[in-house]
Amino acid sequence: MDLKQFIQRDETCWKIPAKGAMRVPAIIYADASLLQAMDQKVHEQICNVAALPGIVEAAYAMPDAHWGYGFPIGGVGAFDADQGGVISAGGVGFDISCGVRTLHTGLTMNDLQGVKKDLADELYRSVPAGVGSRGLIHLNHDEMRAMLTGGAQWAVDQGFGEARDLEFTEERGRVDGAEPRDVSPRARERQKDEMGTLGSGNHYLEVQRVVEIFDQEVAEAYRLKLDAIVISIHCGSRGLGHQIGTEFLKDMALAASQYHITLPDRELACAPLNSPLGKRYLGAMRAGINCALANRQIITHLTRQAMNEIFPGISIDLLYDVSHNTCKEERHIVAGSAQTVFVHRKGATRAFGPGHADLPTEYQSVGQPVLIGGSMGTSSYILCGTKQAEQRSFSSACHGAGRAMSRRQATKQWHGRALVDQLAEQGILIRSPSLRGVAEEAPAAYKDVSAVVDSADKAGLAKKVARLEPVICIKG
DNA sequence: ATGTAC
């Protein structure tokens, strides 16, 4: 888009002053070339977010921002409930609490020699992937309720993983305030056989190798070394989150006039945080967050089982688990003083800096791990939270590369089989139930994740720690 | 993202 629409504050900070219906300014963080390539829709959408009731400070877009439903993907907005602030289902996203979890394996590249193919097959066999994929777990009514309230803690109690995993999971594996009664029977029905499954689209389980370290001190705190093998899991709340999103978007669109909210865009449907509908969505969304946390915890257990088949006795520890599709009640500095706000992060990763009370002891001095998934066949990054991000983005950073091309366009341009063969030649093994899915996820259908991460680093949203390259990718 | 439309 045209850079002349912005007031450039520094190399990676572009401001749109409040005008028209905007209550606060909008700010996009990106270098000039990423911003130029960004869809004009991001400008329109982030200005619309800035016009919502009760928004504080500014509406923000991350360097990987692109056109989404209502809010841009890569959008951040914080709202004050006491000032008529709203919550928006489209501001969280359909895949509630979609996120990334990274596991240490204690292995190096050398350990994979001769077993790579077997490991790929074993992981693919163990972790269900694809549209409508089902697991071996089937939840009855009471178990569903316990899962929606207990999150990853419930999963660990059921024998899926170890108590120590929870220490390294955002929110220690469960959020308060989940209300299973606000989750419809249809949403539960869709989820009851889907626990411990990856899903489709850009979701994956990837075996990765640490190929570059940018910050030795933080890397040591995260126990990351060059050539180490880690496993990253990217997925969310499956059918449950999607159903919650669908239902509440509809309810919120219908209720807007009742709450005297003038919507700049129908897709920005929202409800006051203090309204019955807003509270019901909060209760359901938090149940969705617990579902995603439980899902990644169960997949961790399945991963451990698969890894044990190939490497008997192997011990797998969690580096961290962080979501990038949520609305969270947090304390932040607004107009110079601390207050409680509800931060929407849609395609944006929470990135708490050093000293934040919610971080595990081991990461207190260096800040939260910020896990950035690349597209299939490309690099992923691990960053750390900064102190500056508190003032710049309510402690938020980017979440990935972001699509540069539609799925349809991608399937016209690439064939799944050819991509799998091509990646295999580069030493990257792909396993997927859908060759069309593979084509849709072609590496070149995404923006350059390295440019996105460099912009986030330069903008002070998070600091680069390590770069990972894929070895095996189980694709949904 | 998603029982890729109810």
In whole angstroms, B1 C1' to A324 CA is 13
Q: Is A217 annotated as a binding residue?
A: no
Question: Could you tell me where the DSSP H helices lie in A319-415?
Answer: 389-393, 407-413
A94 touches strand B (CB under 7 A): yes
Output b/e per residue, A246-274; b: 16+ Cβ within 10 A: ebbbeebbebbeebebebbeebbbbbbbe
Are the CB atoms for A62 and A461 separated by under 8 Å? yes
A68 touches strand B (CB under 7 A): no
Longest dimension (CA), chain A: 65
* pLDDT per position as a tens digit, A240-252: 999 999 999 999 9
* Pairing relationship of beta strands A429-431 and A462-475 according to DSSP bridges: parallel
Q: Which of A244, A323, A318, A292 is nearest to A147 (CA)?
A: A292
* pLDDT per position as a tens digit, A417-433: 999 999 999 999 999 99
A193 touches strand B (CB under 7 A): no
* pLDDT per position as a tens digit, A254-277: 998 899 999 989 999 999 999 999
- State the Cα–Cα distance between residues A222 and A104, nearest whole angstrom: 10
Q: Chain B: nucleotides under 7 Å from a protein CB?
A: 1-4, 6
Q: Is A441 annotated as a binding residue?
A: no
- State the Cα–Cα distance between residues A341 and A54, nearest whole angstrom: 10
A246 touches strand B (CB under 7 A): yes
In whole angstroms, B5 C1' to A132 CA is 16
pLDDT for A403 = 87
Strand B contact residues in chain A (250-269), C-beta within 7 Å: none
Q: Which of A301, A344, A356, A399 is catalytic?
A: A399
* Pairing relationship of beta strands A228-235 and A99-108 according to DSSP bridges: antiparallel
Are the CB atoms for A336 and A402 separated by under 8 Å? no
pTM metric for this prediction: 0.98
Per the structure, the residue whose CA is closest to nucleotide B1 at C1' is A95
- State the Cα–Cα distance between residues A209 and A231, nearest whole angstrom: 9
A131 touches strand B (CB under 7 A): yes
In whole angstroms, B5 C1' to A453 CA is 37
The 10 Å Cβ neighbour count of residue A443 is 19
The 10 Å Cβ neighbour count of residue A315 is 12
Using CA atoms, how far residue A1 sits from A34, A154, A185, in Å, is 9, 46, 44
Query: Kind and range of the H or E element at A217?
Result: helix A216-221
In whole angstroms, B3 C1' to A241 CA is 14
Are the CB atoms for A205 and A123 separated by under 8 Å? yes
**Domain ranges within chain A, ordered by starting residue:** 3-404+446-475
* pLDDT per position as a tens digit, A205-238: 999 999 999 999 999 999 999 999 999 999 999 9
- State the Cα–Cα distance between residues A256 and A158, nearest whole angstrom: 41
- State the Cα–Cα distance between residues A158 and A417, nearest whole angstrom: 39
Q: Is A447 annotated as a binding residue?
A: no
A201 touches strand B (CB under 7 A): yes
Per the structure, the residue whose CA is closest to nucleotide B2 at C1' is A242
Residue spans of beta strands (DSSP E) within A53-201: 59-66, 73-79, 86-87, 99-108
- State the Cα–Cα distance between residues A129 and A241, nearest whole angstrom: 17
In whole angstroms, B1 C1' to A250 CA is 17
pLDDT for A103 = 98
A134 touches strand B (CB under 7 A): no
Sign of CA dihedral A155, A286, A128, A170: negative
Residue type, A469: E
Q: Is A95 annotated as a binding residue?
A: yes
> What are the two backbone dihedrals, phi and then psi, of residue A255, each rounded to the nearest 5 degrees?
-90, -10
- State the Cα–Cα distance between residues A33 and A451, nearest whole angstrom: 9
In whole angstroms, B4 C1' to A435 CA is 15
Nucleotide nearest to A189 (CA to C1'): B3
- State the Cα–Cα distance between residues A23 and A51, nearest whole angstrom: 5
pLDDT for A402 = 84
Per-residue pLDDT of chain A (476 residues; tens, 9 = 90+): 999 999 999 999 999 999 999 999 999 999 999 999 999 999 999 999 999 999 999 999 999 999 999 999 999 999 999 999 999 999 999 999 999 999 999 999 999 999 999 999 999 999 999 999 999 999 999 999 999 999 999 999 999 999 999 999 999 999 999 999 999 999 999 999 999 999 999 999 999 999 999 999 999 999 999 999 999 999 999 999 999 999 999 999 999 889 999 998 999 999 999 999 999 999 999 999 999 999 999 999 999 999 999 999 999 999 999 999 999 999 999 999 999 999 999 999 999 999 999 999 999 999 999 999 999 999 999 999 999 999 999 999 999 998 888 899 999 999 999 999 999 999 999 999 999 999 999 999 998 999 999 999 999 999 999 999 999 999 99
* pLDDT per position as a tens digit, A22-53: 999 999 999 999 999 999 999 999 999 999 99
In whole angstroms, B6 C1' to A192 CA is 21
Nucleotide nearest to A403 (CA to C1'): B1
Q: Is A215 annotated as a binding residue?
A: no
pLDDT for A404 = 87
Strand B contact residues in chain A (310-349), C-beta within 7 Å: none
Q: Is A234 annotated as a binding residue?
A: yes
Cα-Cα end-to-end distance for chain A: 33
Tokens 């269900």 correspond to what residue? A128
Are the CB atoms for A301 and A127 separated by under 8 Å? no
A235 touches strand B (CB under 7 A): yes
Q: How many helices (H) and strands (E) does chain A have?
A: 14, 19
Domain spanning A3-404+446-475: CATH superfamily: tRNA-splicing ligase RtcB (3.90.1860.10)
- State the Cα–Cα distance between residues A361 and A345, nearest whole angstrom: 25
Q: Is A401 annotated as a binding residue?
A: yes
A70 touches strand B (CB under 7 A): no
Can A242 be counted among the known catalytic residues?
no
* Pairing relationship of beta strands A317-323 and A369-372 according to DSSP bridges: unpaired
Q: What share of chain A is helix, strand, coil (3-state, %, to 5)?
A: 40, 25, 35
Nucleotide nearest to A436 (CA to C1'): B4
CB proximity list for A312: less than 8 A, separation 6 or greater: none
